[in-house]
């Protein structure tokens, strides 16, 4: 029966095998041979040894007797364990430690010599010891050193002397003995050593060579895959480490500066205390005297993470988790201290901007703050103001809650709480919040604050905004931003203003050009300068400027021709300020003038005239006479950002500057006096007073922006695309309020207001109601006439010059 | 035509049976007047362990002349090499001497590195004989053959029991080279493991013991095999070893001097097991090179197939010691690859001769499997096994498996059962070894359509008797061992 299942299945290691024992055992006759099913396992021995007599005998004996029989064991060479001198050889006893023995790998190399003295050496030693004392160990060290210093060639006696720090006689004796012994030695060394492999491979089969190095690395199965992954991980690690290093360096810098600040502050406080300057009067005095100096010192900017400098303005938050915040808080509180040492405790948070110390001008205070601040980039940002409110007046469920790990900027209070009383810097700052001081490459001038947007087809659209500072900004020469070497070149215009326009309150607060520039230079003010276009070729400039308005590159289209060229060509260069009255009175007159295309002669005259005017100013930098003559200073106040509403999509900002020679800030006509001085100083005088340009900016229609426009920009005619409505005379400035500040700012003593300025004024008036109409259409029409006919042919943008006549 | 060729090739299996006793006499030309030279075969008197005289057939491997007395190094055919010895002339039965048959191809073969004559000596002698067969060539008196034949180390494929075979095949007219060609030029041994399975480096030098005697602590050991101790030390009557650091010195005086400088009283490693007087030390072959090398040199004296070709870096050495008031005396050891690609948990394993047959070998084996249990792996000793190794392992496997089988309890009145995999998992013995042991013990039977394990009375009795003698056991509670993941380290 079982024969039928002769072909047994293969033995399955995973299948349970029932175990039969003793009586349960089935009759083995019933069992089937499994020889086929279960292959015979190899013994693992070498074949020829497997058959060895003693092994076979032992195996069979085991099979038979199921245990080893003494006579059946495999015989081996005898071993004796009867070394009777063992106890003398291995002296002492070794107590088994309780703990497991654990050895330190470094303890293994002891400095004992490898050479062991033999009886022959002992004889020598005994002989030597008659003359001098030499210990066996000493001798062994000597031989050891000699052996190890020699390879195939024995060391010389001289070398031996260097090698051994012994008596010369001893060295000689040992050396001679060693040389003799070495020669008789059969081995390569007196210290028996395992034969080493030789590089040439000649020892590959030498049976006495052992322990060869494994040249090929042993292949382990594992380290194949993750090579790339681990490499990437390493790279990442490296990046992160270097970032950590950067952060730590920054922290170091910050902390150092903070310490410095603290010391300085303490010093100031001390000084003030000694002087009894409890009210801060002396401090104010000191500060007023040296604003320039303070501005020129670039404050240490300490950054937290990756934030851009300009944006850096963090909220002081009491429950901010980071230590750093806390620390800076402390510092901040301390630096407040000097201001109000008596009034407020150290812990008092910073006061709002309406802080006392009326004598100190706001900007000065802020400047002080700025310099002492360890992290605020903007002195004018009163970030801590909100602190108490935040703490004490939560908004209930709607309260703003900070999220851990987020960094928040300080709220821009100056923007929401704008008031005329706010300092100029605050104003600037507010503008800067969205707008950035922008410089055009062609024409090379600063156009004041503007904001760039990318329009359809990649056009770059400039949104401009007019500020009180426009007159000043207008004077900024891009070159100055680049190469602003000394403050001596700039004139403090604010002081000029304060003297000339004494009646004007705002002028006092106005920032000086130098201040702005230094602000820019110290990166406190963002200033955008596009990459330089080729300015060399004025003709090409012209060409580019003549390109159709629909062209993609608006910047290029808007590029203005170089001033001098324009001057010669168009010849209308007017410098002048206008008052509202003048504006109105001369409006028609001016329009007429424009239409008649003011003669070049006249312009030349004017330019000459203006240059004459400029010179003395530049030299003397005295403003009094200049002011008397240059009524055009008023023009500064006609900082106008011409707002052109562009119905056509292709419409874009067009900045046309027919201005002679100088850097008009777009839409901002700086006081001519200023411009003149600028010329005289920076540009080594050129030609006529500027014809300010009007840049056509498509407003996004911020009422606020418009509202802020303190002055209408007079100046230049604008060319607008043909399809634009700008051809219409309905040019409106959108806001009356735009005009009104002009009045405020400009002392109405200007003579000969420029026709365009007048136009703008009207435009402004009309704009109030029709905000979307281009303000400069009138001007542009004039401009067209002013220009060569070819310009008119330009589709879209043509340059126009508006003569701003200086009386 | 093809049949003829195949006929020639069919010689190959015939060689397998070579070396058995009763080699036909016609293979060796009988030369009564001939000198006893290397390669000669003749019965040599030998006293067996029962103190009886035997005359087993032996082969002369070397001849030396010491003060006018000739000594012959004989290998007893079908006896392990460890019994090879120097014998005097009077122990040779010259009447039955068989001279090596001169080989037709000797001249051409002589220069070939890939050929495998028995030994260079033989080869040269044979050559001489070819030139003048009548003139007896005096045997070389050099003790070191290497000095006589400086190039002899190159590529000798010396096959211990194979000269006979070769001649046999020559007699049968086969082309010897056709078989040799498969061997090719010998190259360096594989870099994994400690044992060589092919004997391409087994030349006449390594076939002969080179150390007369080793003194290690209380013991004087007679080496069994060649060991590459420095050549200048091989002529010494006794090589002295420091018992603890295993450093070899040439004289007792040197050993004395060494002992004043060596303060070791235990193997220079970490103790990972201790029970009673038995301790195990773990030594890293990379970190403690000198001890590892010394240990390997000593072990090579008793391990035929062990190779010391490469360094000891990829190995760990587990040294078993017995403690007495003098220190931790080495009893035996096994080495183990840090990373084995073939599930080896032992590379070389040795109980020093004075401690043999006392259960230490099995203790070492048991310990090696305990380590594997901690590692959660099954393992097997590296091959080839020696005769003693095979016996020891079989014995250990048998006892371990039988122990499990006999302790199986029947559940719910059903017959107890177990899978081979389960046995393997419990014991860490590799599955193949389990099967081979079951087979060796004849436990596997096929009954009623399934495999069963049968434990016969005599098996059970034999096991119980054996276990009574097995007193030394490893106590896993005394093992303090954390396996390292060597694969995560750049080097061994």
Tokens of B11: 């010689």
Residue A660 pLDDT more than 50? Answer: no
pLDDT band for A528, please (50, 70, 90 cuts): low
A28 contacts: CB under 8 Å, gap ≥ 6: B445, B454
* Residues A233, A234, A240, A242, Cα dihedral to 10°: -160
B18 contacts: CB under 8 Å, gap ≥ 6: B161, B162, B164, B165, B168
Test A101 with B451 for CB contact under 8 angstroms. Answer: no
Q: What is the mean pLDDT of residues A564-569?
A: 39
pLDDT at A249: 95
Residue B348 pLDDT more than 70? Answer: yes
pLDDT at A586: 59
- Residues of chain A positioned with their CB less than 8 A from the CB of B229: 192, 194
Q: What is the mean pLDDT of residues A411-415?
A: 57
Q: What is the mean pLDDT of residues A474-495?
A: 49
Residue in B with minimal Cα distance to A15? B419
A299-335: pLDDT as tens digits: 444 444 444 444 444 444 444 444 444 444 444 444 4
B162-185: pLDDT as tens digits: 333 333 333 333 333 333 333 444
- Residues of chain B positioned with their CB less than 8 A from the CB of A210: 228, 293, 296-297, 308-309
B390-426: pLDDT as tens digits: 999 999 999 999 999 999 988 777 889 999 999 999 9
A740-762: pLDDT as tens digits: 444 434 344 444 445 554 555 45
pLDDT at B156: 39
Residues 74-133, chain A, touching B (beta carbon < 8 A):
74-83, 85-87, 89-91, 93-96, 100-103, 105, 108, 110, 112-113, 116-119, 122
Tokens of A170: 């001893």
**Of the candidates A702, A703, A692, A665, the residue with the CA atom closest to the CA atom of residue A437:** A665
Catalytic position from the list B382, B411, B414, B422:
B382
Q: Which helix (H) or strand (E) holds B61?
A: strand B57-66
Residue in B with minimal Cα distance to A113? B261
pLDDT at A79: 85
Rounded to 5°, angle at Cα A539 from A536 and A540 = 75
Residue B199 main-chain phi, psi, to 5 deg: -100, 35
Least reliable range by pLDDT among A463-467, A579-583, B50-54, B291-295:
A579-583
Q: What is the mean pLDDT of residues B287-292?
A: 92
**SS3 call for A608:** helix
pLDDT at A589: 63
Q: Which residues pair with A445 in a beta bridge?
A: A440
Considering the entire predicted model, what is its pTM?
A: 0.52
pLDDT band for A361, please (50, 70, 90 cuts): very low
Rounded to 5°, angle at Cα B166 from B164 and B168 = 70
Q: What is the mean pLDDT of residues A233-260?
A: 95
E strands in A433-576: 436-440, 445-454, 460-465, 527-528
Crossing angle between the packed helical segments A227-275 and A281-289, to the nearest 10 degrees: 120
Q: What is the mean pLDDT of residues A464-486?
A: 62
Give me the percent of chain B exceeding a pLDDT of 70.
74
Residue in A with minimal Cα distance to B77? A52
Residues 174-193, chain A, touching B (beta carbon < 8 A):
185-187, 192-193
Q: Where are the alpha helices (DSSP H) in A150-280?
A: 157-163, 168-184, 227-275
Q: For residue A253, give how far its alpha carbon lies from the nearest alpha carbon of chain B (Å).
A: 41
Which ipTM did the prediction report?
Answer: 0.76
Q: What is the mean pLDDT of residues A475-498?
A: 47
pLDDT at A450: 77
pLDDT at A602: 56
- Residues of chain B positioned with their CB less than 8 A from the CB of A55: 80, 387, 390-391
pLDDT at B386: 92
Strands of the sheet containing B450-455, edge to edge, are: B417-418, A17-21, B450-455, B444-447
Sign for the pseudo-dihedral over CA of A230, A233, A239, A241: negative
**Of the candidates B151, B139, B170, B149, the residue with the CA atom closest to the CA atom of residue B112:** B151
Q: For residue B454, give how far its alpha carbon lies from the nearest alpha carbon of chain A (Å).
A: 5
Test B408 with A34 for CB contact under 8 angstroms. Answer: no
Q: Is B271 a catalytic residue?
A: no
Residue of higher predicted confidence among A278 and B185: A278
Residue A80 main-chain phi, psi, to 5 deg: -110, 150
**SS3 call for A796:** coil
pLDDT at B14: 36
- Residues of chain A positioned with their CB less than 8 A from the CB of B424: 13
Least reliable range by pLDDT among A158-167, A259-268, B176-185:
B176-185
Q: How far apart are CA A59 and CA A73, in angstroms?
A: 9
Best mutation target, A208, A212, A224, A227, to test chain B (most B CBs within 10 A) = A208
Highest mean pLDDT among A387-391, A604-608, B225-229: B225-229
B297-317: pLDDT as tens digits: 999 999 999 989 899 999 999
Residue of higher predicted confidence among B266 and A283: B266
Highest mean pLDDT among A174-188, A433-447, A533-547, A768-782: A174-188
Q: What is the mean pLDDT of residues A433-452?
A: 71
Test A77 with B82 for CB contact under 8 angstroms. Answer: yes
Taking a C-beta distance cutoff of 8 angstroms, is the pair B344, B380 a contact? yes
Residue B292 pLDDT more than 90? Answer: yes
Count how many pairs of residues, chain A against chain B, have C-beta atoms within 8 Å: 365
Per the listing, tokens 């290029």 go with A556
- Prior bond to A443 cis, omega within 30? yes
Residue A683 is classified by DSSP as: I
Neighbours of A540 (CB within 10 A): 15
The terminus-to-terminus CA distance of chain A in angstroms comes to: 137
pLDDT at B238: 94
DSSP code per residue over B138-188? PPP--S-HHHH-GGGGSS----TT-HHHHHHHHHTT--HHHHHTTT-S--P
Residue of higher predicted confidence among A583 and A192: A192
Best mutation target, A76, A92, A125, to test chain B (most B CBs within 10 A) = A76
Residue A147 pLDDT more than 60? Answer: yes
pLDDT at A500: 38
A100-122: pLDDT as tens digits: 999 876 655 567 899 999 999 99
């Amino acid at each position: 029966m079982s024969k039928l299942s002769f072909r047994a299945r293969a033995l399955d290691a995973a299948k349970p095998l029932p175990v039969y024992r003793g009586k349960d055992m089935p009759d083995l006759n019933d069992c089937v041979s499994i020889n086929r099913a279960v292959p015979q396992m190899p013994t693992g021995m070498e074949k020829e040894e497997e058959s060895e007599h003693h092994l076979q005998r032992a195996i069979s004996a085991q099979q038979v007797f199921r245990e080893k029989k003494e006579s059946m064991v495999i015989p081996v060479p005898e071993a004796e364990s009867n070394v009777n001198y063992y106890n003398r050889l291995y002296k002492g006893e070794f107590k088994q430690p309780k703990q497991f023995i654990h050895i330190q790998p470094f303890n293994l190399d002891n400095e004992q010599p490898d050479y062991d003295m033999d009886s022959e050496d002992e004889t020598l030693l005994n002989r030597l010891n008659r003359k001098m004392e030499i210990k066996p160990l000493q001798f062994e060290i000597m031989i050891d050193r000699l052996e190890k210093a020699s390879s195939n060639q024995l060391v010389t006696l001289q070398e031996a002397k260097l090698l051994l720090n012994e008596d010369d006689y001893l060295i000689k004796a040992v050396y001679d003995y060693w040389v003799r012994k070495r020669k008789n030695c059969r081995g390569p060394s007196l210290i028996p050593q395992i034969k080493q492999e030789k590089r040439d491979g000649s020892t590959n089969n030498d049976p006495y060579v052992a322990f060869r190095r494994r040249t090929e690395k042993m292949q382990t199965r594992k380290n194949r895959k993750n090579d790339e992954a681990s490499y990437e991980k390493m790279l990442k690690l490296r990046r992160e480490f270097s970032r950590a290093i950067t952060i730590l360096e920054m922290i170091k810098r910050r902390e150092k500066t903070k310490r410095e600040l603290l010391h300085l502050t303490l010093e100031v406080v001390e000084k003030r205390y000694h002087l009894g300057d409890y009210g801060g009067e002396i401090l104010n005095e000191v500060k007023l005297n040296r604003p320039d100096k303070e501005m020129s010192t670039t404050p240490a900017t300490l950054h937290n993470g990756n934030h851009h400098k300009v944006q850096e303005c963090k909220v002081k938050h009491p429950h901010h988790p980071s230590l750093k915040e806390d620390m800076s808080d402390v510092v901040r509180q301390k630096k407040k201290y000097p201001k109000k040492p008596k009034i407020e405790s150290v812990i008092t948070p910073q006061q709002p901007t309406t802080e006392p110390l009326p004598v100190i001008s706001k900007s000065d205070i802020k400047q002080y703050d700025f310099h002492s601040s360890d992290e605020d980039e903007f002195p004018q940002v009163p970030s801590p103001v909100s602190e108490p409110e935040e703490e004490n007046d939560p908004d209930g469920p709607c309260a703003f809650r900070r999220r851990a790990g987020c960094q928040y900027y300080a709220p821009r209070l100056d923007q929401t709480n704008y008031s005329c009383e706010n300092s100029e810097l605050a104003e600037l700052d507010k503008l800067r919040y969205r707008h950035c001081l922008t410089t055009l490459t062609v024409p090379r001038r600063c156009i004041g604050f503007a904001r760039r947007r990318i329009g359809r087809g990649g056009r770059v659209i400039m949104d401009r905004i007019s500020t009180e500072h426009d007159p000043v900004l207008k004077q900024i020469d891009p070159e100055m931003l680049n190469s602003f070497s000394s403050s001596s070149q700039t004139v403090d215009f604010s002081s000029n203003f304060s003297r000339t326009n004494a009646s004007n309150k705002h002028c006092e607060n106005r920032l000086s050009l130098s201040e702005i520039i230094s602000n820019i230079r110290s990166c406190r003010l963002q200033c955008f300068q596009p990459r330089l276009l080729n300015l060399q070729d004025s003709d090409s400039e012209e060409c580019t400027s003549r390109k159709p308005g629909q062209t993609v590159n608006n910047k290029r289209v808007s590029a203005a021709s170089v001033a001098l060229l324009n001057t010669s060509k168009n010849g209308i260069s007017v410098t002048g300020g206008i008052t509202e009255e003048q504006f109105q009175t001369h409006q028609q007159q001016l329009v007429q003038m424009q239409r008649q295309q003011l003669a070049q002669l006249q312009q030349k005259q004017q330019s000459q005239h203006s240059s004459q005017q400029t010179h003395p100013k530049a030299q003397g930098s005295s403003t009094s006479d200049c002011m008397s003559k240059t009524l055009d200073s008023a023009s500064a106040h006609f900082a106008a950002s011409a707002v052109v509403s562009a119905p056509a999509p292709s419409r874009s900002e067009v900045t046309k500057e027919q201005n002679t020679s100088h850097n008009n800030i777009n839409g901002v006509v700086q006081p001519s006096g200023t411009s003149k001085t600028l010329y005289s100083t920076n540009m080594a005088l050129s030609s006529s007073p500027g014809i300010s340009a009007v840049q056509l900016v498509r407003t996004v229609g911020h009422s606020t922006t418009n509202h802020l426009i303190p002055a209408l920009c007079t100046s230049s005619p604008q060319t607008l695309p043909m399809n634009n409505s700008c051809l219409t005379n309905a040019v409106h400035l959108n806001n009356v309020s735009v005009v009104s500040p002009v009045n405020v700012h400009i002392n109405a003593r200007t003579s000969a207001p420029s026709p365009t300025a007048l136009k703008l004024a009207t435009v402004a008036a009309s704009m109030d109601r029709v905000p979307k109409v281009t303000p400069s259409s009138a001007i542009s029409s004039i401009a067209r006439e002013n220009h060569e006919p070819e310009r008119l042919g330009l589709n879209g943008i043509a340059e126009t010059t508006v003569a701003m006549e200086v009386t | 035509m093809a049949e003829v060729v195949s006929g020639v090739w069919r010689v190959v299996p015939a060689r397998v049976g070579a070396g058995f006793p009763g080699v036909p006499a016609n293979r060796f030309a009988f030369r009564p007047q001939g000198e006893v030279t290397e390669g000669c075969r003749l019965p040599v008197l030998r006293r067996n362990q029962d103190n009886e005289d035997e005359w087993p057939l032996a082969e002369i491997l070397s001849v030396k002349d010491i003060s006018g007395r000739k000594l012959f190094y004989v290998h007893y055919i079908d006896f392990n090499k460890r019994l090879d010895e120097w014998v005097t002339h009077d122990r040779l039965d010259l009447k039955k001497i068989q001279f090596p048959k001169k080989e037709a191809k000797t001249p051409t073969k002589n220069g070939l590195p890939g050929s495998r004559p028995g030994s260079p000596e033989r080869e040269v002698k044979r050559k001489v004989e070819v030139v003048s067969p009548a003139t007896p060539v005096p045997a070389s008196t050099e003790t070191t053959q290497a000095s006589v034949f400086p190039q002899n180390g190159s590529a000798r494929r010396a096959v211990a029991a194979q000269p006979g075979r070769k001649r046999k095949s020559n007699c049968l007219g086969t082309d010897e080279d056709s078989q040799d060609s498969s061997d090719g030029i010998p190259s360096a041994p594989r870099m994994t493991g400690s044992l060589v399975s092919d004997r391409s480096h087994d030349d006449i030098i390594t076939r002969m013991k080179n150390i007369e005697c080793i003194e290690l602590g209380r013991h004087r050991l007679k080496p069994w095999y060649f060991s590459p101790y420095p050549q200048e030390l091989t002529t010494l009557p006794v090589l002295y070893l420091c018992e603890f650091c295993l450093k070899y010195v040439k004289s007792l005086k040197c050993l004395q001097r060494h002992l004043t400088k060596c303060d070791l009283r235990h193997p220079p490693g970490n103790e990972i097991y201790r029970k009673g007087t038995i301790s195990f030390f773990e030594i890293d072959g990379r970190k403690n090179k000198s001890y590892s090398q010394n240990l390997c040199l000593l072990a090579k004296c008793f391990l035929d197939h062990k190779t010391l070709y490469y360094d000891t870096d990829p190995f760990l050495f587990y040294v078993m010691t017995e403690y007495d008031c003098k220190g931790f005396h080495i009893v035996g050891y096994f080495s183990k690859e840090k990373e084995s690609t073939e599930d080896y948990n032992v590379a070389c394993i040795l109980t020093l001769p004075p401690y043999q047959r006392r259960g230490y070998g099995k203790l070492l084996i048991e310990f090696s499997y305990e380590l594997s249990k901690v590692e959660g792996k099954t393992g097997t000793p590296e091959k080839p096994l020696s005769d003693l190794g095979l016996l020891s392992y079989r014995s250990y496997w048998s006892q371990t498996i039988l122990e499990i089988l006999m302790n199986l309890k029947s559940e719910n009145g059903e017959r107890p059962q177990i899978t081979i995999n389960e046995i393997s998992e419990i014991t860490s013995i590799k599955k193949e070894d389990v099967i081979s042991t079951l087979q060796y013990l004849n436990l596997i039977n096929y009954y009623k359509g399934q495999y069963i394990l049968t434990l016969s009375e005599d098996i059970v009795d034999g096991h119980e008797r054996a276990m009574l003698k097995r007193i030394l056991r490893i106590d896993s509670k005394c093992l303090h061992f954390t396996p390292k993941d060597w694969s995560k380290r750049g080097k061994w």
